[in-house]
A and B are shown apart, each in its own frame.
Chain A
Amino acid sequence: MSDQPLTTLAQSAPVSAGCGGGEENVLELAGVTVELGGRRILDDVAFSLRAGELTGLIGSNGAGKTTLIRVILGLLAPTAGSVTVSGPDARHSVGYVPQKFMLDPDLPVRARDLVALGIDGHRLGVPRPSRERRERVERMLDAVGAGKFADARIGRLSGGEQQRVLIAHALINQPRLLLLDEPLANLDLRSAREVVDLLARIAREQRIAVMISAHEMNALLPVMDRVVYLADGRAACGRAEDVVRADVLSRLYGHRVEVIHAAGRVLVVAGEGDDAEPSHPHHLDPEEH
């Protein structure tokens, strides 16, 4: 298969309009390409995020979600293209919740200590405790519903509880952009729902651009303003109803894909016949979540 026309198609498709500029752009990616170990992981990815909106970064395992987030964070330099975070002090205006988070249950760090490290964990020296600082941490913990387990060691909290503490850690410095890598991966349906609602509220109330990566979009559908859909390193973006369509996704994948709406859920499955690529069947496994 030839890359060129597919990329062009994905970009020239009407859906791209949904990712265009705006006055309130917090983040802008243009032509971002990443090659690792001789392989092209991201291919000419371009989109922008606006304040107050929640965006889903959707793609199957290995699609390049984490890589894209690492590029935005400045942890990985793109081979080509540019990443622009608007406003002053770009690095500290981006909040981040990493995907893998394995913690020693004996780590002597309480939930509230980790949230406090969100204020100035990068600074040298020992923190100076103050009532103002304590109250700020307390307010943040309450805002994400983590007040109940604020004094527990973080390594002993459940996955969902840790997720809330990490969100508080990322939010306490009032970032303009919040990136969460697979925050729902280890959560049951109810916790996932709660976390998603919390994030949607944060985006709207605090005018933050929130981007959530996920390999399963259904949990995000009710709240997602826009979607950046990654497949084989290429991205399509726009409103969910414009991107999650058979024609758009088929162009993105480079082979036929069906989008099935059933019982309020959306399933993306490999299409019949055509040039369905046997090398990527796992990308389209609807059972995966």
Chain B
Amino acid sequence: MTRSLHTRTTWTPRSTETAVHALLRAIVEPGFFADGAVQTAAALGGVVAVVAGLIGVFTVIRSQAFAGHALSDIGSAGGSSAYLVGLAPLWGFVGISVLAAAAMERIGVQRARGRDVATGIVLGVGFALASLFLYLGMTYHNGSGEIPTILFGSVFTLSAAELPLVIGLGAVALLVALTLYRPLLLASVSPELAAARGVRVRLVGAAYLLALAITVALCDLTIGAILSTALLVGPAAAALRLTSRPHRAALLAAAISLACTWLGLLLAWDSFYWPPLRHGWPVSFFIVTLVLIVYLAAGALARGRRLRG
């Protein structure tokens, strides 16, 4: 601490500042931090990223990535039906996702053998509904602008008015996960051990599924129904490669997810000046690509660590 303070006095502040600024200007196109849409996107995307990272760790531990993916794909049915009746897509995402989670729970998503079957059935029904609503939406509203937004997300088009609801839903998901942290972890290691200690394994699993459904709906909103699993599972899987402690994995996953989201926003903003000029590439593409890169890097890092001993 004292050393770094000491060395600081030898710096030449002026020249460093200009160098940093020049670098920043090269990376960050002008207006990035001042733009209202960017600020909203950064806030919404940030909240969702943190929730996704934390919840995602349990999704991976409990091998429910497929269920998470199904919930998000079904989300497109919710988003498109909300669009059809003129509601905000988030309500559609949350509504259908929670309903689908309840259906999976009923069919038996918590039994190891029933899991894929339950998920598959709900996924099939969800896709059928989604294709219907998307079709109806296109016919009645005479346009297709909303469809790519539902499927692939577009965090820059969100309004600041959605922020309170997003924060509220995120808080509910986190509260469930934090409250159930220990029993959930124990039940994930061995349902048998947890039950013998008086944990109501089924109830804990169902509550977790609710938190997962909410989280998936939030991801649907920011990066789209098709890609939201990547944000849910990617950072968590990367974190689990790097640490063997559950709470560290959760915090690390949240950090990775947040970094990828914000960097993705930045790159998308920059891409406005890339070909095709003045269009900008989709944010979700950048976020998901960054997540993939981090995941691969984490794998390489873990392998390197193991080789060294």
A and B interact physically? yes
* B contact residues around A110 at 8 Å (CB): 244-245
- Contacts A106-B240, A108-B240, A108-B243; is A124 near B179 (CB within 8 Å)? yes
What's the Cα separation between A73 and B180 when bound, in Å? 22
- Whether A126 contacts B198 by the Cβ 8 Å rule is no
**With A120-B182, A126-B182 as contacts: A98 and B245 at CB distance below 8 Å:** no
A107:B189 contact, CB within 8 angstroms: yes
Tell whether B43 is near chain A: CB-to-CB under 8 Å.
no
Main secondary structure of the interface of A (DSSP, over half): loop
In the complex, whether A229 has a CB less than 8 A from a CB of chain B is: no
Judge whether A234 is part of the interface by a CB distance below 8 angstroms: no
Number of residues from A at the complex interface, CB < 8 A: 32
User: Would A121 and B246 count as touching, CB distance under 8 A?
Assistant: no
Please give, as numbers and ranges, the residues of chain B lying within 8 Å of A127 by CB-CB distance: 181-182
**In the assembled complex, which residues on chain A have CB atoms less than 8 Å from the CB atom of B182?**
117, 120-127
Residues of A within 8 A of B241 (CB): 106
Beta-carbon contact of A108 and B198 below 8 Å: no
Given A73-B196, A91-B197, A169-B193, the answer on whether A121 and B244 have CB atoms closer than 8 Å is no
- Which residues of A have CB within 8 Å of B63? 104
The answer to the question of B249 belonging to the interface, with a C-beta cut-off of 8 Å to chain A, is yes
Say yes or no: A122 contacts B194, CB within 8 Å. yes
- B186 within 8 A of partner (CB): yes
Q: Quick check: A101 and B61 within 8 Å, CB to CB?
A: no
Residues in chain A near residue B192, CB distance under 8 A: 98, 100
Q: A98-B190, A104-B63 are in contact. Are A117 and B196 (CB under 8 A)?
A: no
CA distance A122 to B196 in the complex (A): 10
* B21 close to A (CB within 8 Å): no
User: Do B189 and A94 touch across chains, with their CB atoms under 8 A apart?
Assistant: no
A122–B200 Cα distance when bound, in Å, is 9
Chain A, Cβ-Cβ closest to B248: A108
- Please indicate the chain B residues that have their CB under 8 angstroms from the CB of A101 in the complex: 190
Residues of the A chain whose Cβ atoms lie less than 8 Å from the Cβ of B61: 104, 107-108
- The answer, yes or no, to whether B106 is at the interface (CB within 8 Å) is no
Which A40-80 residues have C-beta < 8 A from chain B?
73, 75
Complex contact B196–A121 (CB within 8 A): no
- CB-based nearest B residue for A106: B240
Known pairs A96-B193, A126-B247 / 16 extra A-B pairs, C-beta < 8 Å: A75-B195, A98-B190, A98-B192, A98-B196, A107-B188, A108-B246, A109-B244, A117-B189, A121-B186, A121-B199, A122-B183, A122-B194, A123-B183, A125-B179, A126-B178, A169-B193
